């Protein structure tokens, strides 16, 4: 395990380095900068004012030099200021990240739990396979924005059971729960199909293995065969799916956050990129990339722990 970690960490560092350079160059090439915005706001600015502002924002330096200065600051723990909010970028990022973690963490956890249960049912009870496949198809086909609007119309407008969106003004667990039910249900339904299909296919393959037949021949109960023998082995490919979804925990869900008017990383990242806010956009992108790469590494280690044959095969 330590050898794998020692081999992958430099790869992750190199990937993040190249990603930060590509993202910085892409954002820097976008039209619009603080000087253009300032000139639009105050046409009376003279050439001396413009030059002073360009030097203040480092725009008088080549793009690569500005990227290197930004990267040096990040390595020292200095993430810079947000141009849009005129506050430190890390300060702006944390509330949005916290909102996305709560929303997407709950939704993905619920989707994984229900999807694994539905997929296991389809594999263990073949007569239910058609119903589970139909559920997965509907879940995958429904657009998130359309499903969210339907839920608002039904549960908020027609029945009046839940708020249509936003965040609670007063603190309280029950009140916060009421505001999060609809967006969590929308995201969970959207992610349910992948977990159900992967689990059904993986469980069906494991249940056909010779050692499962041997366990049944020894008189092992079906529940023990499913929970102790089949499910842990079927979970190996699911770890890769969970690792990929880990990036969504910090990248946010732009459409769902917009439909339900919830603050989160999706909206913040979009505003930062469209507003040419280098520091905020790059910090958010690096956070998403780092989380995804580390989650992939963790999934790889967990797969090797669950199935030692993978370690032998990749050695």
Q: Which domain holds residue 122?
A: 95-314
Residue 172 lies in a domain: yes
Q: Are residues 20 and 137 in the same domain?
A: no
Question: Has residue 86 been placed in a domain?
Answer: no
Q: Is residue 1 part of a domain?
A: no
Residue 4 resides in a domain: no
Whether residue 196 is found in the same domain as residue 147: yes
Q: Which residue has the higher pLDDT, 5 or 153?
A: 153
More reliable by pLDDT, 110 or 220: 110
Q: Confirm if 278 and 70 have CB atoms less than 8 A apart.
A: yes
Give residue-wise pLDDT tens across range 127-154.
888 888 888 888 888 888 888 899 899 9
Q: Quote the pLDDT of residue 38.
A: 58
- Say yes or no to pLDDT of 168 above 80: no
- Arithmetic mean of pLDDT, 21-48: 70
Q: 49 and 166 in one domain?
A: no
- CA 242, chain centre distance (Å): 10
- Directed axis angle between helix 231-251 and helix 278-306, to 10°? 170
Q: How many domains does the chain have?
A: 2
**Residue that finishes a domain, picked among 75, 110, 125:** 75
- Whole-angstrom CA distances from 271 to 25, 85, 99, 267 are 18, 11, 16, 6
Same domain, 68 and 177: no
Nearest to 278 by CA among 91, 81, 35: 81
Same domain, 259 and 195: yes
Q: Are residues 115 and 48 in the same domain?
A: no
Would 89 be classed as within a structural domain? no
For 79-98, the pLDDT digits (tens) are 888 877 878 888 888 888 88
Q: CATH code at 167?
A: 1.10.3720.10
Tokens, residue 11 = 């790869």
Say what the pTM is. 0.74
* Residue 297 scores a pLDDT above 80: yes
Question: Is residue 5 in some structural domain?
Answer: no
> Is there a domain that residue 3 lies in?
no
């Amino acid at each position: 395990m330590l050898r794998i970690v020692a081999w992958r960490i430099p790869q992750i560092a190199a990937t993040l380095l190249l990603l930060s350079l590509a993202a910085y160059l892409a954002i820097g090439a976008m039209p619009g900068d603080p000087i253009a915005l300032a000139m639009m706001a105050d046409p009376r600015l003279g050439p001396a004012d413009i030059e002073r502002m360009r030097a203040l924002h480092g725009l008088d330096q080549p793009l690569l030099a500005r990227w290197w200065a930004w990267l040096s600051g990040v390595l020292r723990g200095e993430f810079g200021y947000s141009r849009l909010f005129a506050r430190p970028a890390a300060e702006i990022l944390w509330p949005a990240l916290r909102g996305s973690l709560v929303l997407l963490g709950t939704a993905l956890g619920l989707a994984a739990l229900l999807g694994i249960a539905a997929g296991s049912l389809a594999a263990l009870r073949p007569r239910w396979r058609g119903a589970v496949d139909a559920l997965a198809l509907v879940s995958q086909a429904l657009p998130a924005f359309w499903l969210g609007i339907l839920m608002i119309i039904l549960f908020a407008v027609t029945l009046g059971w839940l708020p249509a969106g936003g965040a609670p003004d007063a603190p309280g667990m029950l009140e916060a729960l009421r505001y999060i039910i609809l967006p969590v249900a929308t995201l969970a339904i959207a992610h349910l199909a992948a977990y159900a299909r992967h689990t059904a296919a993986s469980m069906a393959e494991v249940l056909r293995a010779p050692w499962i037949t041997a366990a049944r021949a020894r008189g092992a109960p079906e529940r023990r065969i499913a929970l102790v023998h089949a499910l842990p082995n079927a979970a190996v490919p699911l770890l890769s799916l969970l690792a990929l979804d880990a990036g969504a925990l910090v990248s946010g869900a732009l459409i769902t956050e917009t439909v339900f008017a919830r603050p989160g990383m999706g909206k913040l990242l979009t505003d930062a990129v469209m507003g040419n806010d280098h520091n905020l956009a790059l910090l958010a992108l690096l956070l998403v990339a780092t989380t995804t790469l580390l989650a992939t590494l963790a999934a790889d280690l967990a797969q090797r722990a669950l199935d030692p044959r993978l370690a032998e095969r990749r050695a």
